[in-house]
């Protein structure tokens, strides 16, 4: 086989491949065996029809088509291996010549991973905002606790802002009742603003048994973007009483005996949350600085695939109703053209980010061991609210094991860069990145693994392109599959994940500043 490579641009090549017919003999043998088992020819047993008889009965063109369909992908793979190309996406293949008995020739255009010259990561310096916990921050959390422990009593009056009401809802579009929008006995706090636009104004002033109809624009479902007539009926009104902030309240709402102790604990939790936010800001800025300092060409074909994926997700939120999406954008003061331009820019950045992180991982020989892979599977499964077995099965069925492997690898690569970069706050203090993420001072390897989990979130959120990753080590994947299938996932990891989830749940009680 002879093959040549032509560089069309920094991210795309054209392979020209010529295969002598003597190299196609194994493909001809398989084609004849397959076809012999599919046809019935008098005088011959199925599967035992000679090649010459098949040529005569089926036609030489049928045989050649079978051979070409099998040989071209195999020879393409062989050609990119000989050329040491890191291909991305599927190739555009064109068969240019079939000279029976002589040679088969074809061309293949495909996107490739570009050569990337990495900057000196230790020279990267970024600045993040200072962390400051104010009395107002603490007061906000105290008020959230008061709201959680509020008591309610029936009120024989019209509903007012802050009341807890039980309501029934119905909706109509163009005179047609929407069954899926009907609900009864829904508990709602007036002023929460988390149902539909206009409902708070409609409820205020209604007493038990009274109704009001108002117009609103639906934002989801098959009628997204259309005006609906919504009728709300108040079934009951309850007055909410917030507890006084005293030591009794501190004992009710926490494990502390005094308000001072409660406020001190809230201050520490707020600081931890803000430290993590500061760490995330540092991570994002380091990545931004990396992208600015590095030339990373984005393959057009991969960008197009990423753009189409994001566009599909956008319209999917509106039940695949393009008109509803356009109406929503119009209400937001944006044209579809502007939206698509932003979407394409985000697709370009996502592809550049993935290519850059992959290059960093290779340059620093970043690996992923079985425990790290399993830990990420467990983390993702818990975040989705499904069992690790079910999640792993989904990954297998969707051929997504390599994507998870790459996700962890990129996260570790970015974490390594963040640790080497210089991060200062607005006051000029150099920050310890590990402390920003709340990591204890343990072995450096353990710190890197934990920080990688934080960084992997960015790799997952920012990088969704459909690039073909390098082949994942089969033995590693098989070992992990067997371990999870046999429910031998290490219990210690599961317990650690549960502890982290519980800690994060506590911190999520503290709204971000």
Tell me if 136 sits within 8 A of 429, measured CB to CB.
no
3-state helix vs strand vs coil in the chain, percent to 5 = 50, 20, 30
pLDDT in tens, the chain (513 residues): 999 999 999 999 999 999 999 999 899 888 878 887 777 777 677 767 777 887 777 888 888 888 899 999 999 999 999 999 989 888 999 999 999 889 999 999 999 999 999 999 999 999 999 999 999 999 999 999 999 999 999 999 999 999 999 999 999 998 888 888 889 999 999 998 888 889 999 999 999 999 999 999 887 777 777 889 999 999 999 999 999 999 999 999 999 999 999 999 999 999 999 998 998 999 999 999 999 999 999 999 999 999 999 999 999 888 788 888 888 888 889 999 999 999 999 999 999 999 999 999 999 999 998 889 898 999 899 888 899 899 989 998 988 888 899 989 999 999 999 999 999 999 999 998 777 665 443 334 444 444 445 444 443 443 333 333 333 334 444 444 444 444 333 333 344 434 444 444 444 443 333
Write the DSSP symbol of residue 322: H
Calpha distance 447→432 (Å, rounded): 12
Q: How many residues does the chain have?
A: 513
Burial 4-33 (b: 16+ CB within 10 A, else e): ebeeeeebbbebebbbebeebeebbeebbe
Could you tell me how far CA 312 lies from the centroid of its own chain?
14
pLDDT of residue 47: 66
DSSP one-letter code for 509 = T
C-beta separation of 234 from 209 below 8 A: yes
pLDDT value at residue 66:
87
Domains of the chain plus CATH, in order, are 2-112 (3.30.70.1050), 151-241 (3.10.50.40), 259-295+365-508 (no CATH)
Segment (H or E) for 5: strand 2-9
Q: Are 278 and 513 in contact (CB under 8 A)?
A: no
Residue holding tokens 């009742």? 177
3-state secondary structure 177-196: ECHHHCEEEEEEECCCCCCC
171 forms beta bridges with: 230
What is the pLDDT at residue 37? 79
493 vs 397: CA distance, rounded Å: 25
Collect all residues with Cβ–Cβ distance below 8 Å to 20 and sequence separation of at least 6.
Answer: 1, 102, 103
> How far is Cα 190 from Cα 157, in angstroms, rounded to an integer?
14
Run of H or E including 103 = strand 103-112
C-alpha span between 392 and 373 (Å, rounded)? 11
How do residues 81-137 score in pLDDT, each as one tens digit?
A: 999 998 988 899 999 999 988 999 999 999 999 999 999 999 999 999 999 999 999
Q: Of 229, 166, 174, nearest to 198 (Cα)?
A: 229
DSSP letters along 418-478, please? Answer: HHHSEEEETTSPBP-HHHHTT--S--HHHHHHHHHHHHHHHHHHH------PPPPPHHHHH
Name, in order, each residue with C-beta under 8 angstroms of 470's C-beta and a sequence gap of 6 or more: 86
Q: Mind listing the pLDDT tens digit for each residue in 418-436?
A: 999 999 999 999 998 777 6
Q: What is the 3-state secondary structure (H, E, C) of 350-397?
A: HHHHHHHHHHHHHHCCCCCCHHHHHHHHHHHHHHHCCCHHHHHHHHHH
The order of strands in the sheet holding 87-99 is 2-9, 12-20, 103-112, 87-99
Nearest to 110 by CA among 128, 134, 127, 88: 88
DSSP state of 227: E
Alpha helices in 25-118 (DSSP H): 25-36, 51-58, 60-82
Cα 139 to Cα 134: distance, rounded to the nearest angstrom: 9
Helix or strand (DSSP H, E) at 214: strand 211-217
- In this prediction, residue 217 carries a pLDDT of 86
DSSP 331-347: HTT--HHHHHHHHHHHH
Between CA 381 and CA 390 the distance in angstroms is 8
Q: What is the DSSP letter of 175?
A: T
């Amino acid at each position: 086989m002879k093959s040549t490579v032509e560089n069309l641009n920094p991210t795309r090549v054209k392979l020209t491949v010529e295969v002598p017919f003597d190299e196609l003999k194994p493909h001809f043998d398989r084609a004849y065996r397959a076809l012999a088992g599919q046809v019935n020819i008098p005088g011959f047993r199925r599967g035992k029809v000679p090649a010459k008889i098949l040529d005569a009965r089926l036609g030489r063109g049928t045989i050649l088509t079978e051979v070409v369909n099998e040989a071209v992908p195999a020879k393409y793979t062989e050609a990119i291996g000989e050329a040491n190309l890191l291909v991305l996406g599927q190739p555009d293949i064109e068969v240019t010549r079939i000279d029976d008995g002589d040679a088969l020739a074809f061309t293949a255009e495909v996107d490739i991973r570009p050569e990337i010259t990495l900057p000196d990561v230790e020279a990267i310096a970024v600045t993040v905002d200072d962390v400051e916990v104010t009395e107002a921050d603490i007061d906000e959390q105290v008020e959230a606790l008061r709201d959680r422990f509020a008591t309610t009593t029936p009120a024989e009056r019209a509903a007012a802002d802050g009341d807890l009401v039980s309501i029934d809802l119905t909706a109509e579009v163009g005179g047609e009742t929407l069954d899926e929008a009907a609900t009864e006995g829904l508990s709602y706090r007036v002023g929460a603003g988390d149902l539909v636009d206009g409902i708070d104004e409609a409820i205020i002033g209604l007493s038990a048994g009274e109704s009001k109809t108002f117009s609103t624009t639906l934002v989801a479902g098959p009628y997204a973007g259309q005006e609906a007539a919504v009728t709300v009926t108040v079934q009951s009104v309850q007055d909410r009483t917030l507890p006084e902030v005293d030591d009794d309240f501190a004992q009710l709402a926490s494990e502390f005996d005094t308000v001072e102790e409660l406020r001190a604990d809230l201050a520490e939790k707020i600081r931890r949350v803000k430290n993590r936010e500061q760490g995330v800001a540092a991570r994002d800025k380091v990545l931004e600085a990396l992208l600015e300092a590095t030339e990373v060409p984005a393959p057009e074909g991969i960008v197009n695939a990423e753009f189409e994926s994001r566009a599909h997700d956008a319209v999917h939120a509106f039940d695949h109703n393009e008109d509803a999406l356009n109406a929503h954008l119009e209400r937001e003061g944006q044209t579809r053209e502007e939206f698509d331009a932003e979407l394409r820019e985000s697709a370009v950045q996502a592809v550049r980010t993935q290519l850059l992180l992959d290059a960093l991982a290779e340059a620093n020989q970043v690996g992923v061991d079985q425990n790290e892979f399993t830990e990420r599977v467990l983390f993702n499964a818990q975040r989705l609210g499904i069992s690790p077995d079910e999640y792993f099965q989904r990954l297998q069925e969707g051929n997504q094991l390599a994507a998870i492997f790459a996700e962890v690898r990129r996260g570790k690569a970015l974490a390594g860069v963040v640790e080497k970069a210089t991060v200062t706050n607005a006051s000029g203090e150099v920050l310890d990145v590990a402390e920003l993420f709340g990591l204890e001072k343990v072995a450096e390897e353990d710190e890197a693994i934990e920080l990688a989990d934080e960084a992997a979130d960015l790799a997952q959120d920012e990088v969704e392109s459909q690039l073909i990753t390098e082949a994942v080590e089969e033995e590693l994947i098989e070992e992990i599959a067997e371990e999870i299938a046999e429910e031998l996932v290490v219990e210690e990891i599961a317990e650690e994940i549960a502890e982290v989830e519980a800690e994060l749940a506590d911190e999520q009680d503290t709204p971000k500043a």
